[in-house]
Amino acid sequence: MVRTARFSEEDFIEATMALVAEGGPAAATMQAIARRVGAPTGSIYHRFDSRSAVLGAAWNRAYASFIKALAPLLRKGRPREAALAILPWSRENERRARFLLLNEPVTLFEDTPPPAPLREELERLEEEFDGAFRACVSGCGDGVVRDEDLARAKFLIFDAPIAILRPHLMRGGALPPFAERMIAELHAGMPLAATRNRAARPAVVA
């Protein structure tokens, strides 16, 4: 009779995200992850060779979820909607949001990089997201992607919304009701593409 595994990779990945979300990267030791799942420490090593492997798997899982929420809107040239989509994603995925938006890969993997397959997967995800982002910037301007336009778009779509959410993610609890209004006002007050691009296009009357 084949014995069914009691603990899955998913169990350890979710436990890793929870520990990092609650206590930072240092909290996610192999022993702590196993303890969170209720598994013997040896059980996690049957699925992940190292701490960097389970952290890498957790990062890719959270990042893929984030990309799935934003990339389709970016490809459709809807930067404001993409920025606003961070809010429902964070509400529906609070643990993943705290894990992903309050940390950086350089901090998570400062001791040892994740194994090659996980690094390759992360590179693929980054290329996918960057392609959607650049397509959005190109579509909102005159087709030429300039450094200034990229900087504006990065600020409006990612940096500013995440900065608004960061204090609330750090302390937990409900996201502020004013976040959506602030993000919308930022997009209304600052064009995504540089002014010189907008001058060449006729104004659109709502």
What's 26-74 look like in SS3?
HHCCHHHHHHHHCCCHHHHHCCCCCHHHHHHHHHHHHHHHHHHHHHHHH
Q: What is the pLDDT confidence band of residue 111, given thresholds at 50, 70 and 90?
A: confident
* Long-range contacts, 5-12 (Cβ 8 Å, 24+): 6/39, 6/43, 7/37, 7/39, 7/43, 7/44, 7/47, 8/47, 9/47, 9/48, 9/57, 11/37, 11/39, 12/37, 12/39, 12/44, 12/47, 12/48, 12/54
Q: Is the dihedral of CA 59, 62, 163, 77 positive or negative?
A: positive
Least confident of 25-39, 58-72, 101-115, 147-161: 101-115
Mean of per-residue pLDDT scores for the chain? 89
The per-residue pLDDT for range 139-190, each reduced to its tens digit, is: 987 777 789 999 999 999 999 999 999 999 998 888 988 999 999 999 998 8
Residue bearing the bigger pLDDT, 98 or 196: 98
Distances (CA, A) of 29 to 49, 107, 190: 13, 14, 43
* pTM: predicted TM-score of the whole model, two decimal places: 0.88
> What is the structure's pLDDT at 173?
80
Residue 86 has pLDDT above 70, yes or no: yes
Percent of the chain with pLDDT over 70: 91
**With bands split at pLDDT 50, 70 and 90, how would you rate the model's confidence at 101?**
very high
Confidence (pLDDT) at 192: 78
